[in-house]
Structure 1
Amino acid sequence: MKTTTLNRRDFLKQTGIGIAGLSLVTWFPGAYAHDLKKTSGLARSIPELQGLSSAQILSFIEAVEKANLGLHSLMIVRHGKVIAEGWWDPYRADLKHTLFSLSKSFTSTAIGFAVAEGKLTVEDKVVSFFPEEKPETVSENLAAMRIKDLLTMSTGHEKDTLGPLLGETQCCWVKRFLSLPVERKPGTHFLYNTGATYMLSAILQKVTNTHLLDYLIPRLFKPLGIQGADWEKDPDGIDTGGFGLRLATEDIAKFGQLYLQKGIWNGKQLLPATWIEEATSFQVDNAPPTGKTTEHDWNQGYGYQFWRCRHNAYRGDGAMGQYCIVMQEQDAVIAITSETHDMQAVMDKVWEILLPNMKNTALPQDSKAYDILKQKLASLTLLPASTNTTSPLIAAISGKRYKMKENTLHTDAVSFTFQKNNCTFKLKDAQGEHTIVCGLNQWIKAETMMPGDPPKLVPLKNKMDTSKVKVAAVGSWIDADTFMMTWNFYETPHSDVVTCHFSNDTLRMEFINSVDSKARNKKEPRLILEGQMEAMKG
């Protein structure tokens, strides 16, 4: 198997612990009792009962915060029980989060169900499903491409096919994929290829006459108690497969736990254990030509839309830090959502702090450390550091309109209205007036259609997006002349920081999105708006 440099955006059974855990309940203090509960999702337990100390979990949280790794949520599952869970406000347990390429592992799972039901095999040729969309001349390499090659990212392409697909805003992603050159023999060359995962979704829809998401609901989501999932679609209505799924953090953890349990859920075999073994095993070498590095989790091999990890673990993951880490030898699952500048650094903290401290037996009680951990988990927040909530300028600018110079947002005017605990920001463009209310040193949550909010990856066909997005907003005065707003779009990983400089009757607004601000080599403002205060009428 030949390899290439990675091209990408950027099970132990429970042995004795159950008995030990039951026996320890009697001498754990009463404060613990209400935390040993079963919810509508996974069971809950105490870290020490499941062989991991509260102090070490706290150390992990403090380490990722100190390194500014941008976590939005964390759930640690040991021996099938949640032992720690937390969300950095404004993110919440009940809200979905954009998964980006973690979606791919769910698409792979759908193919596993289809294989088990005899609807296809991994050896089936891709072009065989699309006689009307294939090119007039089918190259030898395209003809040889199998479903397995889509699953293992070894289609033979030398570039990710997603770009050309996204360029097709009207229709025909399948036809476009099949039209692209396949430079190498399929099965011989690893290349991270989101278009390949899209084709898995298209094939599944072809053989089942059902959308990918709808196919998974009765087979996976309903048995696991996963509700409210949604998936982006291409212009022809096919679920995008390689990205676009949105789920809650516990849904990610349940998915990992199903894989850890070899496809068994509540005593029923949902997905064949043989498929799970095949999907999560080393199928293709993805190390760079210089060879495998033991320090890196992105060149340990690739399965069927799952990454192999160090320490005999595996994972599904998505851009900017969406993780479902399955630690087979430790009988653990770790679910994380985030917007991180360094996905490897998050993995490193798992291996450095959590993994070596997972013990095979229950640990002595430590109610003090447990209480500290609970307090920490309950107080997680992404709020910027508190600054002034007022400025001498407020009386002169509050409620006044600023006429904006020509700009790429097509903004005509903006205004700021300050009250004791909030600031109402309004922006007027051709579509109307858009409003975001910022709490002063506190989040205010609402919905908005403010232009410039996180876009969907798939362009809409012949219409503008009029859907609202959830936003939490906070504002503060960083000096007497500068008001800074942070808009957190908390069903996505993204946020905007809008810095507003007031000088006499002029306004300068600098926008920078969180993707740019976290990138190491790209820190230019996304957008600058300039305006002049309008004269009062009358």
Structure 2
Amino acid sequence: MPSQRILLPRSAPAASGISSRAISAMLDRLEARSGESHSIMVVHRGQVVAEGWWAPYSADRPHLLYSLTKSFTSIAVGLAIGDGLLSLDDRVVDVLPDRVPAGVSEQGRRITVRHLLSMTAGHATDSLAEAWEREPGDLVKGFLSLPFAAAEGTRHVYDNSTTYILARMVERVTGRGLPEFLDARLFVPMGIDHAEWDRVASGAAFGFHGLHLTTEAVAAFGELLRRGGSWGDQQLVPRGWVELATSRQIDSEWILDGTEQTDFSYGYGYQFWRSRNGYHGHGSYAQQCVVVPSHDLVVAVTAQGDSQDVFDAIWDCLLPGVGHTGSVEEDAFLASRLERLSLQPVPGSAAPERAVSARIDGSAEGSALPDGTTVVVEPTEGGWLVRFESLFEVGVGHGDWRETAPLGRPIVATGAWQGNTYVADLYVITTPHRVRLAVDAEAGTATATWSTLPLTGPSLELHVRSPLMTRPDVS
């Protein structure tokens, strides 16, 4: 695990001019919701005033950001533009001429960097799945060969393919991979030395997904934006680009699961969303970097849940506390609470002499393992060894968490016997996701199901390999 570097100075809330009670109220709201909070960091006037990780998540652990990755790709585009290597009006067909399909439409020929950044190319829906189906070997060709439903530049439709193409364009004009380019120009100068990337099967970074960073690195990114791209005595990102990318470029209205997401209806910038207050970079399941310049505020969150719940907690509970200080005692109470944050280990008994073998029922919704996989649970000191035959094995703690990395990526697990059923939670700890294993000792059957299904597919084996490599099928 990489060592943790301090990127931002610390301050007690009262000394920075923000209420500890307001921060506590926000924590109350977050913990009362149906999802899980994994980490939070509040930065006010450039100083961290509150930070916490719900065990087994921890400060030094990079966390999958999902589509919050898009905002970093936007910064890479801005850097290339600032270097004179790219412009908003450059066309895909000119920058990537070898990836243009035969017979590309006139509208396909007109798609520019600006249209990709604002997701206004003109497709009716997210083009990712259909573009990949049409051209399995080249998503750029697939994207340009699809029919368009609206004129370019007129309608925002959330479209993962646009960011994938932007990443390829940056790579073409800079001659460097997206991760290497951002390392040199952004991460290393900021002191961020632990960026990890998931990749498509060819080895290229997704661009629209797959970046893993620590919570503090996400908060530092937000602070960089709040400062207009400056870090210390360096102007790392052109100020004009930060202002442009985080401003409203097109109207937006995003509906998820039939529920209006208020903070996605204030307009879209260049791979950033406008909010009721300020703007944010967003990743699925509530990976958030929220910047509120009017209040000198940045909030970084990693979680498994609904993003709108996070926004509501910030606006309703935290924002009213900016400019209102509390007492030293209130600050101390908050600090103690933040140090003790934890998800609950699986309740139940250890049954130290009890072993069991069963077969996975893969028909269960959200199954993480193939049907018929043999599961063997054997007691060890302080927990169990769980073997998924022919796949891998993991250690499981009782009343605590135990970490193993069977295929390169860590799993942190806790378990217990509940009557005749052995239950374990397997956290794929660098992601928002976990698997609940339930083994029925009497029936000899077991299920292994995701708490929320990863957008890169249900295979647990895939998600414990590092780096994750798959086709670009994330929605």
Structure 2 length as normaliser, TM-score?
0.88
Deviation at 1:218, TM superposition (A): 1.7
- Note if contact 2:357-2:441 (Cα within 8 Å) is conserved in structure 1: no
Partner of 2:81: 115
Alpha-carbon distance in 2 for matches of 1:332, 1:75: 11
- Note if contact 1:279-1:306 (Cα within 8 Å) is conserved in structure 2: yes
Partner of 1:338: 303
Q: Which amino acid aligns with 1:209?
A: G
Superposed CA offset, 1:129-181 (max 9, x none): 22222122221211221100000011111121221355589632222222222
Alpha-carbon distance in 1 for matches of 2:187, 2:377: 44
Residue 477 in structure 1 maps to residue 438 in structure 2: no
Partner of 2:328: 367
Residue 468 in structure 1 maps to residue 438 in structure 2: no
SS, match of residue 436 in structure 2: strand
Q: Which amino acid aligns with 1:345?
A: D
- Note if contact 1:98-1:246 (Cα within 8 Å) is conserved in structure 2: yes
Partner of 1:512: 449
Structure 1 length as normaliser, TM-score?
0.78
- Note if contact 1:171-1:236 (Cα within 8 Å) is conserved in structure 2: no
Deviation at 1:95, TM superposition (A): 0.9
- Note if contact 2:358-2:441 (Cα within 8 Å) is conserved in structure 1: no
Residues 83-94 of structure 1: matches in 2 within 5 Å? Answer: 83-94=49-60
Alpha-carbon distance in 2 for matches of 1:474, 1:169: 43
Residue 327 in structure 1 maps to residue 272 in structure 2: no
What RMSD in Å do the two structures reach over aligned CA positions? 2.5
Partner of 1:318: 283
Deviation at 1:412, TM superposition (A): 5.0
Q: Which amino acid aligns with 1:322?
A: Q
Partner of 2:398: 440
Residues 80-159 of structure 1: matches in 2 within 5 Å? Answer: 80-159=46-125
Name the % identity.
Answer: 33
Residues 195-206 of structure 1: matches in 2 within 5 Å? Answer: 195-206=161-172
Superposed CA offset, 1:42-75 (max 9, x none): 0000011111122221121122111233111100
- Based on CA coordinates, which of the two structures has the bigger radius of gyration? 1
Deviation at 1:438, TM superposition (A): 1.2
Structure 2, unpaired ranges of 5+: 364-368, 461-475
Partner of 2:472: none
Alpha-carbon distance in 2 for matches of 1:263, 1:402: 55
Q: Which amino acid aligns with 2:446?
A: M
Alpha-carbon distance in 1 for matches of 2:135, 2:123: 22
Deviation at 1:348, TM superposition (A): 0.4
Alpha-carbon distance in 1 for matches of 2:72, 2:91: 21
Change in CA separation of 1:167 and 1:495 when aligned onto 2, cut-off 3 Å: farther
SS, match of residue 473 in structure 1: strand
Residue 381 in structure 1 maps to residue 342 in structure 2: yes
Change in CA separation of 1:294 and 1:262 when aligned onto 2, cut-off 3 Å: farther
Alpha-carbon distance in 2 for matches of 1:288, 1:58: 30
Alpha-carbon distance in 1 for matches of 2:253, 2:64: 28
Q: Which runs of 4+ in 1 moved over 4 A?
A: 165-170, 400-408
Residue 426 in structure 1 maps to residue 387 in structure 2: yes
- How many residues align? The count is 445
- Note if contact 1:69-1:346 (Cα within 8 Å) is conserved in structure 2: no
Q: Which amino acid aligns with 2:399?
A: N
- Note if contact 2:357-2:444 (Cα within 8 Å) is conserved in structure 1: no
Q: Which amino acid aligns with 1:354?
A: L
Residue 49 in structure 1 maps to residue 7 in structure 2: no
Deviation at 1:316, TM superposition (A): 0.3
SS, match of residue 337 in structure 1: strand
Deviation at 1:281, TM superposition (A): 0.6
- Note if contact 2:346-2:424 (Cα within 8 Å) is conserved in structure 1: no
- Note if contact 1:127-1:143 (Cα within 8 Å) is conserved in structure 2: yes
Superposed CA offset, 1:471-529 (max 9, x none): 11111122x211211001110110001111121xx312122211159xxxxxxx999xx
Q: 1:486 aligns with which of 421, 425, 432?
A: 425
- Note if contact 1:133-1:178 (Cα within 8 Å) is conserved in structure 2: no
SS, match of residue 199 in structure 2: coil
Change in CA separation of 1:217 and 1:173 when aligned onto 2, cut-off 3 Å: same
Alpha-carbon distance in 1 for matches of 2:60, 2:346: 26
Deviation at 1:219, TM superposition (A): 1.1
Partner of 1:355: 319
